[in-house]
Amino acid sequence: MSELLHVFCRVHAVSERMISLWVKNNAKWLSDDQISDDDFVQLIQYFIKKSTIRV
């Protein structure tokens, strides 16, 4: 869970305008238990690695 919190803090540091709809939708799915914490973290890490999300 601490890794998830760390990712949220990093994403929060980015301007809200820069956060894609994709991230918002997946965060909603996470909060609704439609995807796991690990899945969400892996997806965010993938987009950070691909420079889709800059931190």
Q: What is the per-residue pLDDT for 14?
A: 58
Q: What is the per-residue pLDDT for 35?
A: 92
Q: What is the per-residue pLDDT for 50?
A: 73
Q: Hey, is 16 helix, strand or coil?
A: helix
* Long-range contacts, stretch 23-32, CB < 8 angstroms, 24+ apart: 23/47, 23/53
Q: What is the per-residue pLDDT for 55?
A: 55
Per-residue pLDDT of the chain (55 residues; tens, 9 = 90+): 577 777 766 666 654 556 677 778 888 999 999 999 999 998 888 877 876 555 5
